[in-house]
Amino acid sequence: MEIIENYSLKRYNTFGIEGIARYFGRFTNEEELAELIERSGRHDMMFLGGGSNILFTKNYDGYVFRNEIMGIDVVKEDLEHIYVKAGAGENWHKLVMYCIERNLAGLENLSLIPGSVGASPMQNIGAYGVEIKDVFEQLEAYSIKDKKLFTFSHADCEFGYRESIFKNRYKSQFVITHVVFRLNKNPVYHTSYGAIQEELEKMNQDLSIQAISQAVINIRQSKLPDPAVIGNAGSFFKNPTVAGEDYLRLQHSYPTIPGYPQTDGRVKLAAGWMIEQAGWKGYRKGDAGCHEKQALVLVNYGNATGKEIYDLSSAIKESVHKKFGVELEREVNII
């Protein structure tokens, strides 16, 4: 396997930001992964998938290894479910389409999310009322320290809102190689979130996982920029949660503020709404901007640097905190 020196990462991150890896390599199976780790001497390492949740603000003075483990297969079946195993390097939307074409329900609301399969449980990605934890069965991950594969169950992953054990306690200790999803033979439709129901009515189609997937694709394409055209990493900030009494105080000052009650009594707020109210929607300075249709998405219009995108995110955080007293947290990983 080749390890290349001073390698450009521009085409391996959806922001389209230039960043140079001191060393770069690819792996297509666990054996190649283990060999690359050994050859690195266990110096600074970073593992890339689809590059859809990362912002390079500087070059990486270490080893960057790209996960290209492929394959999608049905591994078992029971009365209600079919279990699909996918390589971590597979394109996420390709997996969604694989399941929809076979009438396997559960992933349709997660259509057209950029990125790779391996990042999905790490981030516990979610959209339109569905999260990975709802369809996750187990995953395999290679331990850098122990030099062997481990299997993680649903409970092992400690899923939270855009969180898992791999983003905190086990950060940089494991490399996800395969993920198994539990798909439904009989669909349970999720159409109440966002504009799905409205879009389905416009489409005038019978309710199905295919129709829901197309509705989600239509909605995403109508308001979110295509990373192949305008560099972005999707939602840049997490939706924050506040105490119930804090939400009531905010609602007194801002009667139209959206709020989504949680089971613990807290209320989830819409980060995009607050950013828009703070005046950032459509903002642009140079090639760094806040998208004109979705304030939650920061964009690179061509030649923005990672630092310019980061500085814009800092200004947005400060502005929202000053206006609402709410602290936004970046969802995108900053390098």
Which residues participate in catalysis according to the annotation?
162, 235, 331
CB distance 241 to 266 below 8 Å = yes
Q: Cβ-count burial of 169 within 10 angstroms (0-12 exposed, 13-18 middle, 19+ buried)?
A: exposed
CB distance 140 to 125 below 8 Å = no
Q: Which helix (H) or strand (E) holds 292?
A: none
CB distance 324 to 246 below 8 Å = no
Side by side, the strands of the sheet bearing 241-242 are 241-242, 267-269, 259-261
> Among residues 16, 2, 18, which one has the least CA distance to residue 66?
2
Dig out the tokens for 281 from the structure: 């929607």
* Cβ neighbours of 77 (radius 10 Å): 11
> Among residues 191, 283, 197, 193, which one has the least CA distance to residue 236?
283
- Buried b / exposed e across 27-66, counting CB within 10 Å, b at 16+? bbebebbbebbeebeeeebbbbbbbbbbbbeebbeebbbb
> Among residues 129, 91, 84, which one has the least CA distance to residue 110?
129
Beta-sheet strands, E only, within the chain:
4-8, 20-27, 45-48, 54-55, 60-67, 72-77, 81-87, 126-127, 130-131, 136-143, 148-153, 174-184, 231-235, 241-242, 259-261, 267-269, 284-285, 288-290, 297-300, 333-334
Give dist(CA 106, CA 194) in Å, integer.
Answer: 17
Give dist(CA 141, CA 103) in Å, integer.
Answer: 28
> What's at 298, amino acid-wise?
L
